[in-house]
Structure formats: C-alpha cells, structure tokens
Amino acid sequence: MEIKYTLSEIDETIDKIHSYLTENQQRRVVLFNGKMGAGKTTLIKKLCDKFNVIDEVTSPTFAIINEYRTETENFIYHFDFYRLKNIQEALDIGTEDYFYSGFYCFIEWPDIIEQILPDNYVEIKIEEIDNNTRQLIINSY
C-alpha cells in the first residue's frame, strides 16, 4: 500500500493508517523509517491522538522508550533506537517483552533491532518529497 500526503492532508492520512493498523490486529509492532527530520515523531504523535492517548507524546530520543496510556487503559510504547550502539542494549531494556505485550509498539530508527522483530510487523517509510510533501510507503510483514 502506498499513501501520499501533504501537510494539509495529514488528518486524512492518519485516519487511513489508523484504520489499517486496527484492521490488522496481529501486527502491533510498527516501524517508522525516514531520514532525520522526515516527520517520524510527528506522525507518531498524530497516531497517538487517534488512539486516544491521554499522556503527552514526546520523542524518546534520550529515554529510549516512552510509555503512553490510552483512554481505555491500554498502552502504546514509543521507542527511539537512534542512540543505541548494539542490539544487546535493546535486549537489556526488555525490548522483546514490549513487542509481545499485545500493545502497540511504535519504533523510530529500528535498523539495529531488525533481528529480534516479531514475525508480524508493519513498516512505514517516510520519504521527503519537498518541504511540504511526504510520501508514505506501508508494508506488512
């Protein structure tokens, strides 16, 4: 599936992604790939709004993981693996436990943990077309 959006179409795009994720319940791990500044965290914030997160959504660059509660007392885990040096650091924080928790895991900079990903996940690639346009490419594995 390929979705293109401009900043003026972001809400419609978020609706489509939210629908896709809720229709594919077996895929709760979602990878967000894109260059620095492509909009990964912004996209995650908008998705968290759609999932009715009641906590403040911020980038977990220094914390590595943020935990958000939803109105229905579920959780969304937001990872940023940019600063990790190796896969062992991810294992040391219990990453696999989060992946198999049954809650959504939104992951920025996932390259370092590819070998421990569950069998079913979604990847969203964000490509910057220009300052106001992004292209999203969504694949399920």
Give 30-77 pLDDT, tens digit per residue.
Answer: 999 999 988 899 999 999 999 999 999 999 988 999 999 999 999 999
Instruction: Please identify, in words, the CATH class of the domain defined by 2-134.
Output: alpha beta
Question: Judging by DSSP bridges, how do beta strands 2-6 and 133-140 pair with one another?
Answer: antiparallel
Give 17-28 pLDDT, tens digit per residue.
Answer: 999 899 887 889
Nearest of 137, 102, 122, 95 to residue 31 by alpha carbon: 122
Alpha-carbon distances, residue 42 vs 2, 10, 36, 54, 135 (angstroms): 19, 10, 12, 16, 14
Q: What is the pTM of this model?
A: 0.92
Instruction: Enumerate the domain spans of the chain.
Output: 2-134
pLDDT at 3: 64
Phi, psi of 62 (to 5 degrees): -95, -30
C-alpha span between 4 and 28 (Å, rounded):
22
